[in-house]
C-alpha cells in the first residue's frame, strides 16, 4: 500500500475547502460562521447567528438548501440562528447533549458521527471555552479534511474560559488544555476552522488570520508551546480583558432557544412627540449617525453609538435590554441594519426611528445639545481620557492619560477630569463616552477627532507602552 505525501493530502484538503467551504465573517463580533456545500444541493451551516441574511444569500447563490445547522457551543456573544434555520429550511440542528437545549435537536456526545451522504462529521468533546463545547471533524472517508473548532483551538490562541464565572475559570482552563492537546493529535495537514477570531471578545488572538492548520498551530501557537498544564493555564487566564455585559444573558437564551421570527422585523416610524414620550417613560434614544453629526447637534440625553460593524457590541454593553429603544438615523443609513444587529444580540424592544431625524425634533420645538469635536492640534491643555480596552491602551497611549474603559465609564464618570478631551482610536467610541458623560451632567468634555498617534504627532510626544504609572 502506497502512502500519499502529506503535501498532496493538504493540497486536496485546501482544494476541497476552496470549492465547498464558504466562510461568513462577522467583522463586528470578530467571528466566522461557515456554510459547507455538501455537493448534493444541500448545505451545513456552522455557528451562524440569528442574522441569517448572509447565510441565506450565500446558499441562494449556490442553489443550496441548508439541511443542517450545527453549533459548537452555547454562544455568549450572539443568538444562534440554528432554531430559525430549523423553522425556515427544515434544517436538523446538531448540538451537544450536555448543553441540555430545550428545543428539538440531534443531541450529540463524543464519538458520535453524522452522515452527510458522502462526508461525515465526527464529534469531538472539547470543553474549555464552555463546559459543553464540541468540535466537529469533517471526514471524507477516513481522511481528515478539517475541524470546526469553535472556541477551542483558534489561530495562535484559545478562547477565554471565564464566561461561566470566576469560580470556574481555572477548571475550564485546565479542560481547555486537554482539549487543545487532543486536537493537536490530528494530522498536521488538517485544516482548522475556528469560530472566534480577531476582534472577538471571546478571545484575543494576535494577528488577523481566521483559519489555520494543526501543523501551523504546533509551530506558532504560544499556548501549545507551554511546557506543562500549569504554565498553559497561567498564560490563558492572565489577562482576558473585559467583555460586554450582554454576554451574561445569551448563553441561557441560546439554551432555551431564541424566539422564531415569522416575519421580517421592522423599525416603525415615530414622531418627535412619541420619542419625547418614550424618554419620559424611561426609554432610551440611540443616535446611530456618524460621530461628527452627533457632535453638531443631538437630542439631549441620547446615546451616540454610530452604526458600523461594532454597533451590536456597544449597544449590548451600554444599553439595557429591558427598556424600549428609539433611534435617530441619517437619511442614508440602513434601518434594517439597526434591526438585525439588535436582534442578533437579543434586543427586540425596538420602538422605532424618529421620522425626519433631528430636523423633525427641532421643528417640534424641542432643544438640542452639541459636543465639542476637536482636532489633535486643538486639544492642547486638556486632560486626556483614553476609553479604549486595556490591551489597546497598553500597546501605546498618550503620556499621563487617564484610562477609563468605555464599558465601565457610566460607573466611573466622576473619575473623568474636568474639561478633559476624550479619545479612542478614531473618535466613534469617544463620542459614545462623551454622550454617557453628558447624561450625568458632564458637559465640559471634548472629543478628539482621531487617536493617540494623531495627538502625539501634533504635540511632539511619543506614545507610552504598558500600564505602569497610568492614572485610572
Provide the annotated active-site residues.
424
Helices marked H in 364-423 = 390-395
Alpha carbon distance 301, 441 (integer Å): 9
Asked whether the CA dihedral 343, 345, 346, 348 is positive or negative, the reply is negative
Which cell is 156 given?
A: 495562535
Residue 25 pairs in a beta bridge with 32
CB 79 within 8 A of CB 250: yes
Cα-flanking dihedrals φ and ψ of residue 192, to 5°? -115, 120
Please give the distance of CA 78 from its chain centroid, rounded to a whole number. 7
Q: What separation in angstroms does the CA of 247 have from each of 75, 162, 165, 403? A: 9, 11, 11, 23
CB 77 within 8 A of CB 253: no
Alpha carbon distance 424, 84 (integer Å): 37
Sheet holding 106-108, edge to edge: 21-26, 31-37, 42-46, 65-70, 92-96, 106-108
Amino acid at each position: 500500500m502506497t502512502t500519499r505525501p502529506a503535501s498532496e493530502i493538504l493540497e486536496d484538503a485546501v482544494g476541497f475547502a476552496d470549492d465547498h467551504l464558504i466562510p461568513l465573517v462577522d467583522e463586528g463580533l470578530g467571528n466566522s460562521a461557515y456554510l459547507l456545500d455538501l455537493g448534493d444541493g444541500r448545505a451545513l451551516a456552522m455557528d451562524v447567528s440569528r442574522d441569517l441574511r448572509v447565510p441565506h444569500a450565500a446558499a441562494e447563490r449556490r442553489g443550496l438548501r441548508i439541511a443542517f445547522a450545527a453549533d459548537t457551543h452555547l454562544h455568549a456573544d450572539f443568538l444562534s440562528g440554528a432554531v430559525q434555520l430549523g423553522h425556515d429550511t427544515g434544517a436538523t440542528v446538531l448540538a451537544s447533549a450536555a448543553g441540555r437545549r430545550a428545543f428539538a435537536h440531534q443531541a450529540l456526545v463524543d464519538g458520535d458521527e453524522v452522515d452527510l451522504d458522502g462526508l461525515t462529521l465526527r464529534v469531538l468533546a472539547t470543553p474549555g471555552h464552555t463546559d459543553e463545547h464540541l468540535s466537529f471533524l469533517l471526514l471524507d472517508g477516513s481522511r481528515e479534511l478539517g475541524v470546526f473548532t469553535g472556541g477551542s483551538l483558534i489561530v495562535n490562541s484559545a478562547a477565554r474560559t471565564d464566561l461561566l464565572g470566576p469560580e470556574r475559570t481555572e477548571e475550564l482552563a485546565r479542560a481547555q488544555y486537554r482539549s487543545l492537546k487532543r486536537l493537536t493529535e490530528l494530522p498536521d495537514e488538517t485544516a482548522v476552522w475556528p469560530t472566534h477570531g480577531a476582534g472577538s471578545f471571546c478571545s484575543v488572538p494576535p494577528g488577523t488570520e481566521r483559519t489555520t492548520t494543526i501543523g501551523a498551530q504546533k509551530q506558532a501557537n504560544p499556548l501549545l508551546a507551554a511546557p506543562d498544564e500549569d504554565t498553559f493555564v497561567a498564560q490563558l487566564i492572565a489577562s482576558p480583558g473585559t467583555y460586554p455585559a450582554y454576554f451574561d444573558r445569551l448563553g441561557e437564551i441560546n439554551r432555551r432557544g431564541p424566539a422564531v421570527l415569522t416575519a421580517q422585523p421592522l423599525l416603525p416610524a415615530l414622531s418627535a412627540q412619541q420619542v419625547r414620550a418614550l424618554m419620559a417613560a424611561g426609554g432610551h434614544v440611540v443616535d446611530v449617525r456618524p460621530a461628527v453629526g452627533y457632535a453638531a447637534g443631538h437630542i439631549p440625553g441620547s446615546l451616540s453609538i454610530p452604526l458600523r460593524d461594532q454597533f451590536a457590541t456597544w449597544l449590548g454593553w451600554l444599553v439595557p435590554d429591558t427598556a424600549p429603544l428609539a433611534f435617530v438615523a441619517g437619511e442614508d443609513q440602513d434601518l434594517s441594519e439597526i434591526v438585525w444587529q439588535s436582534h442578533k444580540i437579543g434586543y427586540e424592544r425596538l420602538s422605532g426611528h424618529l421620522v425626519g431625524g433631528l430636523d423633525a425634533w427641532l421643528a417640534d420645538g424641542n432643544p438640542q445639545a452639541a459636543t465639542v469635536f476637536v482636532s489633535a492640534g486643538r486639544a492642547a491643555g486638556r486632560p486626556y481620557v483614553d476609553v479604549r480596552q486595556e490591551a489597546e491602551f497598553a500597546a501605546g497611549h498618550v503620556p499621563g492619560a487617564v484610562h477609563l474603559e468605555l464599558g465601565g465609564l457610566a460607573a466611573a464618570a466622576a473619575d473623568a477630569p474636568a474639561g478633559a478631551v476624550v479619545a479612542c482610536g478614531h473618535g466613534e467610541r469617544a463620542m459614545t463616552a462623551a454622550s454617557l458623560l453628558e447624561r450625568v451632567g458632564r458637559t465640559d468634555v471634548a472629543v478628539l477627532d482621531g487617536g493617540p498617534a494623531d495627538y502625539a504627532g501634533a504635540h511632539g510626544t511619543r506614545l507610552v507602552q504598558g500600564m505602569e504609572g497610568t492614572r485610572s
